[in-house]
């Protein structure tokens, strides 16, 4: 009778706890699987879309600084719009990857400065909040004007007092511009040491062609971060669920009457209260 009572008690609680345990394991496994898909998929997506670069100089400060590690989306030069920060390589500029901002495209007349010290494109003054501090708040320390040939790009650094850009190549063929084919990628984000995303400047939005659409950097980073969170949550849920199930099982075993348990309770008056104590703790 005593053995039967214990077996019967286990039979009544075992399936319920086992069911909860199995459900918890399934859910935690599913969460981890989804997390892995997002995490690894984000990295694969990033490897296809982006290339990492290290910025060599402060010519683009404060947007990006020397030593910053950036993510640049692989794009065709035909996709470049005014305001884009691009990575390009041109023999006239040293035949090495450089980072500058596009301020003019084929057919544009780019000049500086108007009476307010601002850059103008086709006679329209451009608001440039990204430009680093310069004497008198002017967009350029020296006046210039250039007409950009078709298929070319006119580029300036954001730190106009330091940048060696299209202004120092005005006597070259193309008046300092570079061909669209020289562009390798467009910078979308800084990933180290101060992570952040680069927006598209509104100052060029009213010009024909507008500005580029945002790249996929934000959803890509979001997928990686969410995937990592799901993996951690799913991995932690399984052990926690099993621990709760064991605590409930122990609490239930202390409360169930049985001949074996009754015999022990009869010999020790403290046995029953001990069982209640386990139950109270489990309930909490």
Mean pLDDT, rounded, for 122-151: 94
Confidence of residue 129 (pLDDT cuts 50, 70, 90): very high
Residue with more model confidence, 24 or 32: 32
Mean pLDDT, rounded, for 266-284: 40
Helix, coil or strand: residue 125: strand
Whether 204 has a pLDDT exceeding 80, the answer reads yes
Burial readout 5-38 (b: 16 or more C-beta within 10 A, e: otherwise): bbeebeeeeeeebeeebeebeeebeebbeebeeb
Mean pLDDT, rounded, for 252-266: 55
- What are the residue numbers of the active site? 59, 100
Lowest mean pLDDT among 13-22, 80-89, 189-198, 202-211: 13-22
Mean model confidence pLDDT for the chain: 84
Mean pLDDT, rounded, for 65-88: 97
Q: Rounded to an integer, what distance in angstroms lies between the CA atom of residue 188 and that of residue 71?
A: 6
Whether 121 has a pLDDT exceeding 80, the answer reads yes
pLDDT for the residue 8? 43
Q: For 126-178, give the DSSP string.
A: ---TTSPP-GGG-S-SS-EEEEPPTTEEEEE-SSTTT--SGGGGTTSTTTT-E
Q: Rounded to an integer, what distance in angstroms lies between the CA atom of residue 197 and that of residue 220?
A: 12
């Amino acid at each position: 009778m005593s053995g039967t009572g214990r077996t019967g008690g286990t039979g009544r609680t075992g399936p319920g706890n086992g069911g909860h345990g199995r459900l918890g394991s399934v859910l935690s496994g599913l969460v981890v699987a989804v997390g892995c898909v997002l995490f690894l998929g984000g990295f694969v997506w990033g490897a296809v879309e982006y290339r990492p670069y290290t910025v060599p100089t402060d010519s683009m400060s404060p947007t990006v600084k020397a030593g910053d590690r950036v993510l640049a989306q692989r794009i065709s030069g035909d996709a470049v719009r005014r305001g884009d920060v691009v990575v390009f390589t041109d023999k006239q500029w040293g035949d090495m990857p450089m980072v500058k901002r596009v301020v003019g495209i084929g057919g544009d007349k780019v000049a500086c400065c108007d009476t307010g010290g601002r850059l103008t494109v086709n006679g329209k003054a451009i608001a440039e909040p990204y430009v680093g501090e310069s004497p008198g708040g002017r967009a350029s320390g020296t006046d210039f004007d250039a007409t950009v040939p078709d298929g070319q790009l006119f580029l300036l650094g954001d730190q106009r007092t330091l940048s060696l850009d299209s202004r120092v190549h005005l006597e070259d063929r193309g008046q300092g511009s570079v061909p669209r084919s020289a562009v390798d990628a467009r910078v979308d984000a800084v990933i180290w040491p101060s992570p952040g995303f680069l927006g598209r400047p509104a100052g060029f939005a009213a010009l024909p062609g507008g500005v580029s659409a945002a790249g996929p950097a934000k959803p890509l980073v979001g997928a990686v971060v969410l995937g990592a969170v799901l993996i951690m949550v799913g991995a932690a849920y399984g052990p926690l669920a099993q621990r709760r199930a064991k605590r409930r099982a122990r609490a239930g075993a202390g409360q169930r009457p049985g001949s074996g348990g009754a015999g022990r309770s009869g010999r020790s008056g403290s046995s029953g209260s001990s069982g209640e104590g386990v139950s109270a703790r489990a309930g909490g």
